[in-house]
Amino acid sequence: MPERIAAIISDLMGAASNAALHSKEHPSVEDFCKKALLGLEPFFSSGAASFAITGYTLRFNDFLTLSQKSLVVGTFVDKLRRKGIGKVTIRKGVTTTELAAFVADLLPSERTPRSSPRIFVEQTSSTRTAGTPEILGEMLPAAVRIVKEAHRKVLKAEPVDLDDLEGLVVRFIHLLGQPQSILDVVKPHRANQDYSYVHAVRVSLLAIDLARAIGMEGDPLHQVGLAGLLFDVGRLFIPHEVLNKTGDLDERERATIQQHPLYGAMYLAALEDIPKLAVIAAFEHHMKFDGTGYPDTRWRDRHQHIVSQIVSLTDFFDALRAQQPYRKAYAIPLIVKKMQEGARKEFNPVLVQEFTGRLDRLGLLR
Amino acid sequence: MRPELENLQRDFQDNVVEGVMSEVMLEILGSDVVTGKEFLKILTRLSELAKGFIDTGRFEETLLIYNTLYTHSLGGRFKSEALNTIEYFFHSQDFTERFIRALRAWGLKNRDGAARLSRPLRKSLMGPLLAVALDEEDENARKLFLSLLVAMGRDLIPVVMKALHSDDAGRVRMLLYLVRKCGTDSDLSVVRTLLGHKNQRIGTAAVRTLLHFKTKDSLPYLKIYLESREPEVRLEAIELAGLYRLKETVPAVEGILDRKDLLGTAHAEKVAAVRALGRMGDISILDRFSRILETRSLISKGKLEDLKLEIFRSLRNFPPEDVEPLLRLGVWSDNQEMKAISAEIMGKLYGAGETPVDA
């Protein structure tokens, strides 16, 4: 049964992909819709078939939970979430034209799908708009706990509770909606035993802020936030003594450290539900804008994806803002100077400009 | 939105993210750190991505996944896992159906990608693709399918041979085309059984195949078809004689040209005969051509003019010095094409722009 539903979703996503790549009038869109309709037909005996989402969980006909292990299911959930859709009910008698119009409306460039005579679209209850404004300091302990738990689960190869992480990202986005909240995020902070998790929280916040500054919104923005929370998870797989060595690393130790992006991406990719951008950022956050850096690649070209560029820039900033036992926190103007020196080499110059421009407007470069 | 920001946002499009995700997973599979458990999990996600790629005509990205797994199957740490994915996913009926559907939708736009992916998948693809090609009504799609099949080479022959036992002339001719393109003269035993086929169009296609491989028995069969009572079959036989420049058939083809045709019903055949004789380039026919050029007719003037024009078109296939008397008739012709052809060949004889004084 789940395979049959996944096949229907696969056809719907095939139609959507083709509409995106070509046009919604392309014959292949109709072909995929026809196939999806054939798959749905047996479920119409009870009148209708429905897809409902709660968080990242998809349920078919209110009882069958579909695993996001399947990428197409994950993509379908992403598309519904981006459009703020909580439930879609497809009734008996639906036509391929109606189905094609619905899947085409799932594309980012299109309007939010509306109900048609035989497709009933319900908007989600606004889970993404949190209520009371928060303060980073108050939110931080709980956030660190959630991130720590997620990292622990990745280390044990257990399913990560994505809803918790997603809830955190929603709160981050809400927090950053308050104009002055970014000032808290860029403050210097002392590295303590939970430094890795605090750092992940701060990188996530900074990454969301930067992604929003370049015009991202909706689900991609959420995925950037999740990528920020999970990008350095691979460090958990590196022996403690290598990771925390204070002196210079020898060649073998350096090679070991340089494997952490691979470990992180591997374990994230193998887990259900983890968004693609989180896997990409975990793999590429030590690649540089000019194609240097690590890990080495054979199949992947040396172009760092934008999510990884955002994460590596914000990672750099926050790492230098942390006061370590062996050095003080860097002042923002000094970090900005280093960023500008690294533009075009380590960092995407457009992102550097956006990020430093934002700090400048906050009066932090004086 | 500033253009540089639009560029950054493009990276967030689903197709870009899927492409990068696929490459990252391929990197992981090729790394030293991957364990068997993770290898299998990532293979599952990659297979899903490959389905998405093939469904949207992204042949190169699909091929990249296939090639990586193929490399693993040859000697990677998890070669049996990789091999199983190739066998049970890429060579599955489901994947083949998706591929063929994608070929129909995007194959013409991305011929190179389609060809590159169909080659490694030929084992499972050739049978279904051949079946689809034989039934395809759209000419462009059919040509694409046939070109992909041809690229599969000799491996295709057993599949073609199985399908040859058909009474549908169109299908058999397509199959014989594939035999000519992919086969050798050792593949002709089944083809020979078609020579006496009750449908002579199948017979002529079989003869064509024998002619292609220059077999000794091809010519006698062609001569039989040149004598066929069916005009269509005769016409095809004439075309074959010209196509393969078979000078041995000059008397038979000339005989067709000589036949009385008061009603003009054999006009197409006669034009084809001139074209075929021209292709053969046998100078013994030039006297016959000359006689036709000097003929005057009041009844079928238009048809005679067609024939004369075809003669002039064929003159390029003969040594210029042998056709000079005919060219002299052409340069004074009222027909501009005859005139142009004559001037062109005369130019080769005497230099461009020069004509003999008495012309």
What pLDDT does residue B338 have? 92
What pLDDT does residue B65 have? 96
Strands A64-66 and A57-60: antiparallel
Q: Which residue in the set B12, B28, B55 is minimally distant from A306, CB to CB? A: B12
**Which stretch of DSSP H or E encloses residue A364?**
none
Model confidence at B346, in pLDDT bands (50, 70, 90)?
Answer: confident
Q: Does B109 touch chain A (CB under 8 A)?
A: no
d(CA A115, CA A112): 10
Domain ranges of chain A: 2-123, 133-361
Q: Do A214 and B64 lie within an 8 Å CB cutoff?
A: no
Chain-centroid distance, C-alpha B126: 17
Q: Do B8 and A283 lie within an 8 Å CB cutoff?
A: no
Backbone dihedral region of B24: left (phi > 0), alpha (psi from -120 to 50 degrees) or beta? alpha
Model confidence at B170, in pLDDT bands (50, 70, 90)?
Answer: very high
List chain B residues with CB under 8 Å of A298. 26-27, 30
Best-predicted range by mean pLDDT (A34-48, A127-141, B28-42, B174-188): B174-188
List chain B residues with CB under 8 Å of A27. 105
Q: Do B23 and A300 lie within an 8 Å CB cutoff?
A: yes
d(CA A345, CA A338): 11
**Which stretch of DSSP H or E encloses residue A354?**
helix A349-361
Task: Kindly give, in sequence order, each residue whose CB lies less than 8 Å from that of residue A335, ignoring residues fewer than 6 positions away.
Answer: A316, A317, A320, A321
pLDDT, greater one: A31 or B121: B121
Q: Do B27 and A71 lie within an 8 Å CB cutoff?
A: no
What mean pLDDT is predicted for residues B172-185?
Answer: 96
How far apart are the CA of B127 and the nearest CA of chain A, in angstroms? 23
Residue ranges of B 3-62 with Cβ closer than 8 A to chain A: 4-5, 8-9, 11-18, 20-21, 23-28, 30-34, 37-38, 41-42, 44-45, 48-49, 51-52, 55-57
| Mutation target vs A (from B32, B35, B47, B55; most A CBs, 10 A cutoff) | B55
What mean pLDDT is predicted for residues B82-93?
Answer: 95
Best-predicted range by mean pLDDT (A33-42, A319-328, B120-129, B331-340): B120-129
How far apart are the CA of B56 and the nearest CA of chain A, in angstroms? 6
CB burial readout B126-152, b (16+ within 10 A) else e:
bbebbebbbebeeeebbebbbbbbebb
| Mutation target vs B (from A38, A306, A311, A344; most B CBs, 10 A cutoff) | A306
Residue with tokens 């193929």: B70
Q: Do B8 and A306 lie within an 8 Å CB cutoff?
A: yes
pLDDT, greater one: A334 or B306: A334
d(CA B139, CA B142): 5
pLDDT, greater one: A26 or B20: B20
Strands A119-123 and A57-60: unpaired
Cβ-based contacts under 8 A for chains A and B? 130
Output the tens digit of pLDDT for each of chain A's 366 residues.
778 888 899 899 888 888 877 778 888 888 899 999 999 998 888 788 999 987 778 888 888 887 665 677 878 887 888 788 888 999 888 999 889 989 888 887 777 787 888 899 888 754 444 455 578 888 899 999 999 999 999 888 888 888 889 889 989 998 998 878 888 899 999 988 899 999 999 999 999 999 999 999 888 899 999 999 999 999 999 998 888 887 888 999 999 999 999 999 999 998 877 899 999 999 999 999 999 999 988 877 789 999 999 999 999 999 999 998 889 999 999 999 999 999 999 999 999 999 999 999 989 887
What pLDDT does residue A20 have? 79
User: Could you tell me the pTM of the whole model?
Assistant: 0.79
Q: Which residue in the set B21, B31, B68 is minimally distant from A280, CB to CB? A: B21
Q: Quick check: B161 pLDDT over 50?
A: yes
What pLDDT does residue A47 have? 80
Q: Do A266 and B42 lie within an 8 Å CB cutoff?
A: yes
Q: Which residue in the set A13, A157, A216 is minimally distant from B12, CB to CB? A: A216
What pLDDT does residue B303 have? 80
How far apart are the CA of A288 and the nearest CA of chain B, in angstroms? 16
Q: In what order do the strands lie in the sheet with A57-60?
A: A64-66, A57-60, A48-54, A85-91, A119-123
What mean pLDDT is predicted for residues B192-207?
Answer: 91
Model confidence at B211, in pLDDT bands (50, 70, 90)?
Answer: very high
What pLDDT does residue A128 have? 45
Q: Quick check: B358 pLDDT over 60?
A: no
Model confidence at B295, in pLDDT bands (50, 70, 90)?
Answer: confident
What pLDDT does residue A126 have? 46
d(CA B86, CA A276): 24
**Which stretch of DSSP H or E encloses residue A333?**
helix A332-342
Q: Does B186 touch chain A (CB under 8 A)?
A: no
d(CA A209, CA A174): 11
List chain A residues with CB under 8 Å of B105. 18, 26-28, 31
Query: Quick one: closest CA in B to A276, which residue?
Result: B21
Cα angle B260, B263, B268 (rounded to 5 degrees) comes to 80
Q: Do A71 and B48 lie within an 8 Å CB cutoff?
A: yes
| Mutation target vs A (from B2, B7, B8, B89; most A CBs, 10 A cutoff) | B8
d(CA B187, CA B54): 34
Residue B303 Cα distances to B300, B315, B348, angstroms: 5, 19, 29
Q: For residue range B44-84, list pLDDT tens digits in order.
A: 999 999 999 999 999 999 999 999 999 999 998 999 999 99
Query: Quick one: closest CA in B to A348, which residue?
Result: B8
Model confidence at B251, in pLDDT bands (50, 70, 90)?
Answer: very high
What pLDDT does residue A125 have? 56
Model confidence at B305, in pLDDT bands (50, 70, 90)?
Answer: confident
Q: In CATH, what class is A133-361?
A: mainly alpha
**Which stretch of DSSP H or E encloses residue A263?**
helix A260-270
Q: Which residue in the set A17, A28, A280 is minimally distant from B24, CB to CB? A: A280
Residue B7 Cα distances to A216, A305, A310, A348, B4, angstroms: 12, 12, 14, 12, 5
| Mutation target vs B (from A233, A238, A297, A299; most B CBs, 10 A cutoff) | A299
Amino acid identity of B54?
Answer: I
Residue B257 Cα distances to A97, A218, A258, A289, B3, angstroms: 60, 78, 83, 75, 71
List chain A residues with CB under 8 Å of B26. 298-300
CA distance between the termini of chain A = 63
